[in-house]
Amino acid sequence: MNIVLLFLPIALILGFVFVCAFIWVTFNGQYDDLETPAHRILLDDEKQEN
Amino acid sequence: MISHSDSLQCSVEGKSSVFAHQCLHCGNLLTTEKQKVSRHSPFCCAGCRAVYQMIQSEGLGRYYEIKQQVGWQGSALKSLPAELPDDITHTSLHYLDDPEFLRHYALEAPENSLGRKRMRFYLEGVHCAACVWITEKVEELVPGVASVKLDLAQSLVTVEILPGGSFRAVAEKLIQIGYHPHPIRSQKMEQYQVKENRQWMIRIAVAGAGAGNIMLLAVSLYAGLIETSVDTAGTHYSLARIFQWVSGILYLPVFLYSGQPFFKSAWGAIRSRELSIDIPIVFGIVVGSITSYYNLISGQHDLIYFDSFASLIFLLLGSRFILRRAQQRALTSSHLIRFLTPSCVDRVQPFKNQVERIPLDQLKLGDVVEVSPNTVIPVDGEVVFGESTLNRALLTGEPKLEEVHEGSFVNAGTTNVSSLLHVKVSRLGVETRLGKILSSMEEYLSRKAPIMEFAQEISRYFVVAIFGILIALVVYSSQYGLEVALNRVLALAIIACPCTFALATPFSFTLSLGRLARLGILIKGADVIEALSRVRTIFIDKTGTITEGNLELATCVIDSQHENEIREAVYALEMQSKHPVARAIVHYLEPLVNLSDDHTALQKTEEVIEVLGRGMKGRYAGQDYRIERSDRETPSSEGVAIFRNEIKVGQMTFQDSVRAGSTESIGRLMKLGYQVKILSGDSSLTVRKIAEIVGVPQEQALGELSPEEKSKIVLNSRHSSNLAPSKRAGLTMMVGDGANDAVALAAADVGIAVQSGIELSLRAADGYLLRTDLRLIEKLLAASRETMHVVRRNFSISLIYNLIAIYATFLGKITPLLAAILMPAVSLVLFASALYGTRKMRKEVSA
């Protein structure tokens, strides 16, 4: 059997999973603000010393 | 930490320059010698110093490092007044803990976090990553806070507190680190907008995922997969067929779900009998999709176009979404009235000698309100007790102070400067003059007729032409048979897809918006750029826009042998007043006076009295001095006389000086053909003098105008324009600052607000400048002209391409497949053209 017949469904399922992940994340509000995260990457994480 | 003590190296406009003297906190240039050479770190005002010290003491010094790292240049919008009243953090924020208030303003946070409350604030003064950092640090600094998240683009901070927490504590902390919070009531419109945005993004995601996977399969098909076949259990499958069918299935969600905005828009346009560009787009997509499915099922597997259409839908959605996001704003003017008047007031209880603090909403007509010095007056009313001076800049735009006494009428929004007043309420809320200004501003904004866009006009003709050609094509090709005819129709539908309108034009606008933003010119939308290119008349506010907006001492003539002593005396006496005139005097005399320390000067003064609105008197080194306003004001300046032991020894005059570069900018604008007019609330004499300086004809400079009158003039200018009464008549532009220009800004076709820190003018305007500099106006107009140039060029390219392609289609040279390749190819050319347009622009529209 041509190996592609195995890859194709896997690729599609993978794609589907990621689209679902995107939908879930969008409804959790991750993409409500598209500008500020671009600035946030410039800030270093500081270790909390407690 | 204090190593960068006296100066900061700064990059100005991309070139690193000499050490400049900037306030350590906000970056404003330091103007007085005293500030520059101070041994302690230099600040422009007590407010900045206080904030700097607070930031350092909390261990948040990293804020300044990040600011430099991020390359923030130039001064931020100053959100705090120059003199911080002592109790700013304590008394005015109690309402934030009031359960009644919270009921309207705070939301219960989502399900899994019981007892938590969430509230949003508009935060004045945020501008960069460092602000994000320090604002979100508040989460750690204040106990009882679950999270603090800043949305930089909207200047909105969302605060979530735990059951024991306090919004007041958070607000106090925010003020201490230098930002001014205003609570925002969440409205239904905003929830709706958030929902819509999310839906858009999911549609784009589905389209993108679909397009990507379909293309993956399509590449194999193009590469010659047709021949490969598969044998499974004796049956013969063609891999190509499988790929084609999968493409078709993947395309379904893209077509039916992601494509919906276009279908809805086209359907809406058809129903209202308007010709919108979405109609041919939808037509092309629908015809193409149906044909593809038909071919798939009926056996002509090669002629499927799922990849092209999926990508097209993805790109169209993406570009539309980007433009949409750029134009969304969180603040509405209903929020603004809260910014401009206090939330809590002190009501004087009748028959008792007490005041009680109540929310503004609970005030009634006839109540008496106590207004302390340095506080904004919350109502329109009559003064029943007290004498003071008011700063009415919100309504007049002028920095001068006005005196009031019992019987005077005062307005909401103005600031009480010197002494306590009791005001009897005669108008509240929307009935106040400020409220009425806000309402008429809203009205103008909503009535602003959408300017017929160049693209919209052309697209109407385009749609008609396309359908005409389509019909002609069908008739012509039917002589070759139905199938040939259908093929050609499909090819035409694909070719004629108006990518120019849909992709390249929004792209050009978005590019320009970005370029302007980097220059410090923030424009709210693409239609503003187009409107700007058709502006013919420019109205400019005088005070604060053409001029500095501050009183400056122009001349100081002292006629006596005790010159030095007199100067010292005047300096020492005026130092003790907060009046703008006094500040101007102090500023001027500082470098001239030989005093090692302010303290010794103060010590020599005795019996200092400030005569409200008139001047100062006192003793200095044993001599009696009187510094007061002349009774007769000399034209265009305020004269102040100096008396020593009752003998007049000196005279000072003041002026509001013109900003550097204003005259040249106005000159250049007039040369380009714009009509420049000046509007002002100041006296006509002063206005005419300024007009003379900057080169504006006298009859085009009008003074003594109220905010309402300014807007009337702007409106009338459009109607009485002598230009041909076509739709393309010249448009009006207004440049101004402050609330006194807000209505005029909304009334003009394009309103540009200059840096003023007043949210009201930001709301009324179509764009704003981060720096008050008329050269930016020149650049803005140049940018809009050039952008329309690029747009028109793109249309020409597109037109030529269309003509050639349509001709070729008639001749049968273009198959749908070829068309499907040509279309993205042309789009790329148009994109490149839009990008290239920048090089010509780069010269005129650069920093």
8 Å CB contact of A39 and B232: no
ipTM, interface predicted TM-score of the complex: 0.89
Which residue in the set B70, B239, B242 is minimally distant from A42, CB to CB?
A: B70
Check if the beta carbon of residue B509 is closer than 8 Å to that of residue B526: yes
Give the gap in angstroms from C-alpha A44 to the nearest C-alpha of chain B: 9
Give B344's strand partners. B359
- Which letter does DSSP use for residue B70 in this model? T
Q: Which residue in A1, A15, A36 is closest to B153 by CB distance?
A: A36
Predicted pLDDT of residue A24? 94
- pLDDT for B396: 76
pLDDT, position B568: 83
**Residue showing tokens 């122009």:** B554
Q: What confidence score (pLDDT) does residue B593 get?
A: 74
Asked if the Cβ–Cβ distance from A4 to B239 is below 8 Å, we say yes
Given a contact cutoff of 8 angstroms between Cβ atoms, the answer to whether B248 and B293 are in contact is: yes
pLDDT band per the 50, 70, 90 thresholds, residue B248:
very high
Lowest mean pLDDT, pick from B372-386, B400-414, B482-496, B764-778: B482-496
- pLDDT, average across residues B316-328: 77
H-helix or E-strand containing B117? strand B117-124
Helix (H) or strand (E) holding B153: none
**Model confidence pLDDT, tens digit, residues A21-50:** 999 999 988 888 887 888 888 777 665 444
Quickly count: other Cβ atoms within 10 Å of residue B753's Cβ.
29
pLDDT in tens, B552-597: 788 888 887 888 888 888 888 888 777 777 888 888 887 777 666 6
Query: Who among A2, A26, A36 is closest to B198 (CB)?
Result: A26
Phi, psi of B595, rounded to the nearest 5 degrees: -120, 130
Q: Provide the number of CB pairs (under 8 Å) joining chain A to chain B.
A: 69
CA separation for the pair B395, B437 (Å, rounded): 9
pTM of the model: 0.68
pLDDT score for B424: 92
Residue B320 pLDDT grade (very low, low, confident, very high; cuts 50, 70, 90) = confident
Cβ–Cβ contact A18 with B under 8 A: yes
CB contact under 8 A, B213 and A1: no
Give the per-residue pLDDT at B10. Answer: 32
d(CA B312, CA B254): 10
Mutate to test the interface with B, among A6, A19, A41, A44 (most CBs of B within 10 A): A19
Relative to beta strand B401-404, strand B388-391 is antiparallel
Dmax (CA) for chain A in angstroms is: 60
Q: At a CB cut-off of 8 Å and minimum separation 6, what does B242 contact?
A: A5, A8, B230
Give the pLDDT confidence of B758-797 residue by residue, as tens digits: 566 667 788 888 778 888 899 999 888 888 888 888 888 8
Lowest-confidence pick of B85-94, B460-469, B528-537: B85-94
Q: How far is B697 from chain A (nearest CA, A)?
A: 45
Whether B264 contacts chain A with CB within 8 A: no
Question: Between vectors from CA B502 to CA B496 and to CA B504, what angle results, nearest 5°?
Answer: 100
Q: How far is B287 from chain A (nearest CA, A)?
A: 27
Q: How far apart are CA B597 and CA B603, in angstroms?
A: 10
Please give the average per-residue pLDDT across B286-305, as a whole number.
Answer: 82
- Residues of B with Cβ-Cβ distance to A26 under 8 angstroms: 198, 201-202, 205
Cα gap B721→B732, rounded to integer Å: 10
The whole-number average pLDDT for the span B705-728 is: 69
Tell me how close the Cα of A26 comes to any Cα of chain B, in angstroms. 6
Quick: pLDDT tens for B112-124.
Answer: 467 788 888 888 7
Containing B394, the helix (H) or strand (E) segment is: helix B393-396
pLDDT cut 70: percent of chain B above it: 78
